[in-house]
Amino acid sequence: MGGEKYPEVQGGGSLILAWQVRHRKVLVIGGGEVAAGRILNLLNADAKVSLISPRDGLNDEVAYRVARKQVEYHDKKFEPSDLDDPAITMVLTAIDEPEASSQIWKLCKEKRIAANIADVPPECDFYFGSVHRDGPLQIMVSTNGNGPKMANIVRRRIAADLPPNMGDAIAKVGALRKKLRVTAPRNEEGPKRMQWMSKVCVKWSLEDLCEMDEGDMEQLLEYYRPDKVPSLEQIRLGEEPDEWLFDGSFGWACVV
């Protein structure tokens, strides 16, 4: 009954989320190349990384992280009691011992700790995709465990088509959005704030957004109350904005 109007359900996917692990403890077991990539991802997300691995199993990058005290290091093999710490919110294993990895997975399930067992998709609560990073911009491509190399190829193709200054533009939009929340802090203004920011993102080019400075932001915010959006040129020339209607039917919404 009218079902053709709605998106068709496609099972077999994952719920892709931006998992906030800032200041949270994550346990990494293993110190090889895969662990190095996992550790870097966690440090980029401001997680508190605890690493368990014998010192002779550390690769050069992981040894560097340990030497710089970027991780809390335990020079030993994993023991079940290592999961007794209630502060652990996530476990990542990257060891070349299938039986030991499966045992860790089972222990995590008993303690209801989210876990990822490297290269064993059935024993993962979540997957690591291929990520493109440009300042505040992060784009993840996931193949749901079917082909990590393909995810990397797709991610590179997407990144190649992005403007080189996309990250800078998004950072400026984020700064403007924070200032707008100070200008219009009330919760009931939320819908208007979102719509006005959408107008800015559609009307201003990436180059304009990158060029925008603090003074431009302050002047632009003066047009929030009358719900107008002048161009960067109009702001700098002191001209009034053209009458321009926005109904949300085109363009992209800015929700950074």
Catalytic residue annotation: 119
Distance CA 78, CA 93 (A): 10
On whether the CB atoms of residues 200 and 212 are closer than 8 A, the answer is no
d(CA 2, CA 29): 51
